[in-house]
């Protein structure tokens, strides 16, 4: 505890998820450099309890009230304050003793706490891309106005951040955003409708949560990342080339006007960008094995196929239509993915549902948080309505 004065205090939003667990894993290699102030989750009491016992945070948040009661009972003899509800996520993102906030809640639920961390001037380690897709301008303004620092944790954006000039974008001609192509890159396109959730979540290179795994299979993940990159790096989509690179060894590249292309390479392991975010501008041992190029042996590149991956096309179109369309894209995608995981929607109907919501003449850009949340909620209702109509018509058929 002697070193706690120099040690950085961290809140991990979504500590029980894949990114949260990897963050704790990197931190465990550097016990004097970082300590946990708060951990948060939604429902997973068992995992949170184990993390609390190991990390002894000051606060543990379970958004779900019953889950919080269960955790509170299990921790009644420990000196850990258990909180519940969405407001508590914002509370633990703004605490004075917190230096860094790992933003690793999945989906739109991450928006308010991430925004709270930005407003409190924290170093935000941003894994949750959905919040930028929903509120790009508002979020970036909040960061700048409050001297907060943003370190991208998505491996591609982290790679781009490493390859860009230290300040400005002098000489940058293009960002080359790599994508693995997911598990169905070469599957017969006529059989895509038969894909099961189990097949969709089995990513060939990365171990990730269920939602992002399905997003990778549809390539909506890359679509969300194109939008994320536009906001993070103040660039337009025509300057972003998606490059399918099945080995996931190059995590992204930046092209310069002198013909140079800078790339960041490494094994596909999220502990590398997490360690970079924690240590920046220095470097830390992440526990990740060094890349063996002889084992990789070859690097392949392909152009993305919009027919196979209509979600990627929809993301480009939504960005062009404005902020409200990207909120709708994200909301409809979250509903569609959840329905697919519950076996209520076919894999190939995910883009059909999203397009149906986007067709409801969504224009303009909401810049206030209340308007953003209303657009999100309206788009979710439209997506649910589409799903209900679809099941009613199937039941009647
Ligand atoms: N995994 C990756 O390799 C990767 C890479 C790049 C970016 N990302 C991004 O990082 C984020 C997290 O991804 P992940 O793969 O770590 O997801 P995950 O494994 O599904 O974990 C999600 C975390 O969020 C919590 N959560 C879920 N719903 C919530 C809600 N309504 N309110 C509060 N907390 C909630 C979960 O708590 P419970 O466990 O209690 O449900 C869990 O701690 C996503 O935005 C994803 O796009 C992930």
280-336 confidence digits (pLDDT tens): 999 999 999 999 999 999 999 999 999 999 999 999 999 999 999 999 999 999 999
Is the CB of 43 within 6 Å of ligand 1? yes
Ligand 1 center from residue 105 Cα (angstroms)? 4
166-212 confidence digits (pLDDT tens): 888 899 999 999 999 999 999 999 999 999 999 999 988 888 999 99
Q: Residue 379 pLDDT > 50, yes or no?
A: yes
3-class SS string, the chain: CHHHHCCEEEEEECCCCHHHHHHHHHHHCCCCCEEEEEEEECCCHHHHHHHHHHHCCCEEEECCHHHHHHHHHHCCCCCCEEEECHHHHHHHHHCCCCCEEEECCCCHHHHHHHHHHHHCCCEEEECCHHHHHHHHHHHHHHHHHCCCEEEECCHHHHHHHHHCCCCCCCCEEEEEEEECCCCCCCCCHHHHHHCCHHHHCCCCCCCCCHHHHHHHHHCHHHHHHHHHHHHHHCCCHHHEEEEECCCCCEEEEEEECCCCEEEEECCCCCHHHHHHHHHCCCCCCCCCCCCCHHHHCCCCCECCCCCCCHHHHHHHHHHHHCHHHHHHHHHHHHHHHHHHHCCCCCHHHHHHHHHHHHCCCCCCCCCCHHHHHHHHHHHHHHHHHHHHHHHHHHHHC
Ligand 1 center from residue 114 Cα (angstroms)? 13
Q: Best mutation site among 23, 38, 39, 42 for ligand 1, i.e. most ligand atoms within 8 A of its Cβ?
A: 42
Contact 93, 116 (CB under 8 A): yes
The closest-lying atom of ligand 1 relative to the alpha carbon of residue 215 is 47
Task: Tell the burial category of 293 from Cβ atoms under 10 Å away from its Cβ (0-12, 13-18, 19+).
Answer: exposed
Structure tokens given for 337:
């993915």
Is the CB of 14 within 6 Å of ligand 1? yes
113-134 confidence digits (pLDDT tens): 999 999 999 999 999 999 999 9
Is the CB of 333 within 6 Å of ligand 1? no
Q: Average pLDDT in the 69-92 region?
A: 97
Is the CB of 19 within 6 Å of ligand 1? yes
Ligand 1 center from residue 127 Cα (angstroms)? 9
pTM: 0.96
pLDDT at 104: 98
Q: Whose CA is nearest to atom 17 of ligand 1?
A: 209
Is the CB of 105 within 6 Å of ligand 1? yes
Of 265, 292, 297, 303, which is closest to residue 179 (Cα–Cα)?
303
Percentage above 70 pLDDT, the chain: 98
> Mean pLDDT in the chain?
96
Ligand 1 center from residue 259 Cα (angstroms)? 38
pLDDT at 1: 45
Q: Residue 161 pLDDT > 90, yes or no?
A: yes
239-289 confidence digits (pLDDT tens): 999 999 999 999 999 999 999 999 999 999 999 999 999 999 999 999 999
Q: Average pLDDT in the 131-157 region?
A: 97
Q: How many CB atoms lie within 10 A of CB 368?
A: 10
Is the CB of 228 within 6 Å of ligand 1? no
d(CA 263, CA 90): 36
Q: Residue 391 pLDDT > 90, yes or no?
A: no
Q: Could you tell me the domains of the chain?
A: 2-153 (3.40.50.720), 154-310 (no CATH), 322-397 (1.10.1740.10)
Ligand 1 center from residue 397 Cα (angstroms)? 37
pLDDT at 121: 98
């Amino acid at each position: 505890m002697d070193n706690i004065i120099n040690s950085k205090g961290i809140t991990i939003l979504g500590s029980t998820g894949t990114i949260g667990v990897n963050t704790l894993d990197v931190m465990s290699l550097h016990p004097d450099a970082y300590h946990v102030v708060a951990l948060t989750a939604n429902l997973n009491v068992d995992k949170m309890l184990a993390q609390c016992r190991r990390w002894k945070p000051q606060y543990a948040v379970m958004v779900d009230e019953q889950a919080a009661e269960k955790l509170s009972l299990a921790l009644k003899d420990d000196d850990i304050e258990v909180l519940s509800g969405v407001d508590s996520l914002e509370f633990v993102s703004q605490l004075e003793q917190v230096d860094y906030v790992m933003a690793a809640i999945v989906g739109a639920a991450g928006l308010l706490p991430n925004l709270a961390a930005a407003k409190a001037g924290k170093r935000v380690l941003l894994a949750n891309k959905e919040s930028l897709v929903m509120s790009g301008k508002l979020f970036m303004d909040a960061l700048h106005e409050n001297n907060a620092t943003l370190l991208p944790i998505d491996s591609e954006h982290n790679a781009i951040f490493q390859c860009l000039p230290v300040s400005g974008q002098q000489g940058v001609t293009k960002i080359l955003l790599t994508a693995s192509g997911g598990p169905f890159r070469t599957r017969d396109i006529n059989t895509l409708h038969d894909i099961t959730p189990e097949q969709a979540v089995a990513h060939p290179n990365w171990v990730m949560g269920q939602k992002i795994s399905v997003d990778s299979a549809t390539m909506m993940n890359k679509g969300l990342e194109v939008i994320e990159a536009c906001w993070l790096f103040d660039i337009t989509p025509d300057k972003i080339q998606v490059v399918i690179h099945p080995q996931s060894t190059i995590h992204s590249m930046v092209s310069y006007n002198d013909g140079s292309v800078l790339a960041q390479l490494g094994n596909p392991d999220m502990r590398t960008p997490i360690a970079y975010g924690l240590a920046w501008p220095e470097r830390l041992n992440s526990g990740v094995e060094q890349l063996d190029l002889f084992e990789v042996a070859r690097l392949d590149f392909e152009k993305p196929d919009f027919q196979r991956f209509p979600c990627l096309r929809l993301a480009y179109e939504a960005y062009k239509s404005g902020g409200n369309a990207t909120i709708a894209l994200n909301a409809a995608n979250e509903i569609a993915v959840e329905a697919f995981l519950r076996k209520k929607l076919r894999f190939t109907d995910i883009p059909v549902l999203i397009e149906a919501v986007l067709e409801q003449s969504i224009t303009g850009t909401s810049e206030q948080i209340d308007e953003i949340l209303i657009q999100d909620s309206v788009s979710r209702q439209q997506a649910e309505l589409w799903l209900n109509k679809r099941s009613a018509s199937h039941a009647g058929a």
